[in-house]
Amino acid sequence: MGEAERGESAPRARISFWCSNGHETQPSFAHDAQVPDIWDCPRCGFPAGQDKDSPPDPPRTEPYKTHLAYVRERRSDEDGEAILAEALAKLRGEI
Ligand SMILES: [Zn+2]
C-alpha cells in the first residue's frame, strides 16, 4: 500500500505503443519498472510495439481472445463444469 501512496516521489513515464492497426496506447510505467517490448492494444487486442513504423505482426490464425477465455480454454473439461456449476449457482443466488 505504501508504494502507491508515494506516487509523487515515484514519477511515472508514459510510453507509447502502436499496434498494426495504428492505434496508439500510452500505458505509464514507474521509472524503475521494466518496460515490456510488447503491449496488448486495448482497442483491438493486437500486440503493440514501441516502434510506430514497424508494429508487431498481428496474430494470424486466431481471433482475439480475452485472457479469461484463454485461461478457460486451457482448463480441463472437469474444471469447466465446475465453473459452469458455480456460475449457475450464482445465478440462482445460492452463493
Ligand atoms: Zn489496436
C-alpha cell at 76: 480441463
Top pLDDT among 17 and 83 is at 17
Distance (Å, whole) CA 40 – CA 43 = 9
Sign for the pseudo-dihedral over CA of 73, 40, 12, 7: negative
Query: What local confidence, expressed as pLDDT, does residue 76 receive?
Result: 66
Q: What is the pLDDT of residue 82?
A: 84
Mean pLDDT of the chain: 83
Q: Judge whether 23 is annotated as a binding position.
A: yes
User: Where do the domains of the chain lie?
Assistant: 10-49, 62-95
| Res 20 pLDDT > 70 | yes
Spacing, Cα 42 to ligand 1 middle (Å) = 7
Task: Please name the fold of domain 10-49.
Answer: Rubrerythrin, domain 2 (2.20.28)
Q: Which whole number is the average pLDDT over 14-30?
A: 96
4 is in an annotated binding site: no
Mean pLDDT of 14-29: 96
CA of 71 to the centre of ligand 1 (A): 22
Please indicate if the annotation marks 41 as binding a ligand. Answer: yes
**pTM above the 0.75 mark?**
no
Among left, alpha and beta (phi > 0; psi -120 to 50; other), residue 36 is beta
CA dist 12 and 27 (Å) reads 10
CB proximity list for 3: less than 8 A, separation 6 or greater: 10
Answer yes or no: is 33 a known binding residue: no
CA–centroid distance, 36 to ligand 1, in Å, is: 17
